[in-house]
Amino acid sequence: MIENLVEITSDQLLGEITKAKVEGYRFVTASCADNGDDTIDVIYHFDRDYGMKNFKITVKKGEEVPSISKVIFSAVLVENEMKELFGLNITGIVIDYGGHMLLSEEELGSPFLRQQITIEQRGGKQ
């Protein structure tokens, strides 16, 4: 149902993003979704003259994903957000908040993932 969706690998990501930018596409945002297994989908949304182009990569949890912020600076915030909320291992973000743009020290890691450990041991009590 999504128009102009292209599935690529994370190795192709920077090349495709750079090409889209050169072709005049505007970066809209990126969306992240947990597939419920050990993979995560990341979709990068672009627009040109109100027509969208979307690049989708599927990565294993913990697998490195190159940051696109060197090519598109406005991806800085969304990349930090995906890194914190989904634990996506994005490397080389131009401004990296180190996992604390939204979350504080006390928060559980990756709260938007479907599977997470919800029982914490605090002071010897569970």
Partner 1 sequence: MSSTVIPFGPQHPVLPEPLHIKLVMEDENIVDAIPAIGYVHRGLEKLTETKEFTQNVFVVERVCGICSVMHAMAYCQGIEELMNIEVPDRAKFLRVIWAELHRMHSHLLWLGLLADAFGFESLFMQVWRDREKVMDIMEETAGARVVISANTIGGTRRDLTKEQMVKINVTVDEIKHDIQQVEAVFLNNYTVKHRLVGRGILSKADAIELCAVGPMARAAGIPMDLRTTGYSAYGQLDFEPVTHSDGDNYARTYVRLHEVYQSIDLIKQAIAKIPEGEHVAPFKGNPPKGEVISRVEQPRGEVLYYLRANGTKNLERLRLRTPTFQNIPSLIKMLPGSQLADVPLLILTIDPCISCTER
State the binding string over 19-58 for partner 1 (x if CB under 8 A, else -): -------xxxx-xxxx--------x-x----x-x-x----
CA 28 to chain centroid: 13
- 8 makes contact with partner 1 (CB under 8 A): no
- 111 makes contact with partner 1 (CB under 8 A): yes
Q: Which amino acid is at 111?
A: P
Cβ at position 125, least distance to partner 1 in Å: 25
Question: In terms of CB distance, is 100 or 125 closer to partner 1?
Answer: 100
CA distance 12 to 5: 15
State the binding string over 71-90 for partner 1 (x if CB under 8 A, else -): -xxx-xxx------------
**Residue carrying the six token digits 């505007």:** 26
CA 120 to chain centroid: 26
CA distance 92 to 80: 11
